[in-house]
Amino acid sequence: MYAISILRLGPAHFQNLVYIVYDVRTRHAVIVDPAWDEPAITAACHSLGLTLRGILVTHSHSDHVSALTGCIGERSVPVLMSRSEAERIGLAASSFLDVQNAAEYRLGSLRVKAIMTPGHTSGSICYLTDQALFTGDTLFIEGCGDCSSEEGSVHDMWESIQRLKACIDGDVLVYPGHQYESGPGARFSSLLENNIYLRMKNRDTFAAFAGRKSLRGENG
């Protein structure tokens, strides 16, 4: 059985959700998108009696990786992320596992499946562990990630959302990188019903809507 500890870190007006996923029996753990406060993340792992077995990085924006180096420290733990994202922040090839779409990884007693979801960035990844999907800035409870940066693409985001709709079970719980209104842990079936980006049927309509100039609080 897996459990999830949620840390809300960063500026009060735009906090990140940093997740610690662990096996309640073995106490093996992975951290998803370590950012802002390495001491707080390390302290949370210590207080739960966890052994870190890996780090999952959804993408390379600083608010998702600023505590990565500190969390690695002297530990020899695998860092899962895409090559393009690792290169963007200057990680050496020996410092990460180049994640491939649909590949499954075993980190201690934890099993993780990677789903490539470019759009917010070209190398964005979602991670599926047990019945939990960690979406970074690809998918939020109410929306999807901003695609207006140089490495973003609304057309890639459309394809990524279709990929998630095709492979994620409705009972899977969604844990995004930020909270806007509803808290993390909503069922994917709820997003299919209520998230307008998942309800759209036409790529061009989606691209026009998702690509419009919008407030950061709406699209991440």
DSSP-derived secondary structure for 54-97: EEE-S---HHHHTTHHHHHTT----EEE-HHHHHHTT--GGGSE
Domains and CATH numbers, the chain: 2-219 (3.60.15.10)
* pLDDT for 37 beyond 90: yes
Q: What band does 150 get if pLDDT is binned at 50, 70 and 90?
A: confident
* pLDDT for 117 beyond 90: yes
* pLDDT for 219 beyond 70: no
Can you tell me the mean pLDDT for 10-37?
A: 95
* pLDDT for 217 beyond 60: no
* pLDDT for 214 beyond 50: no
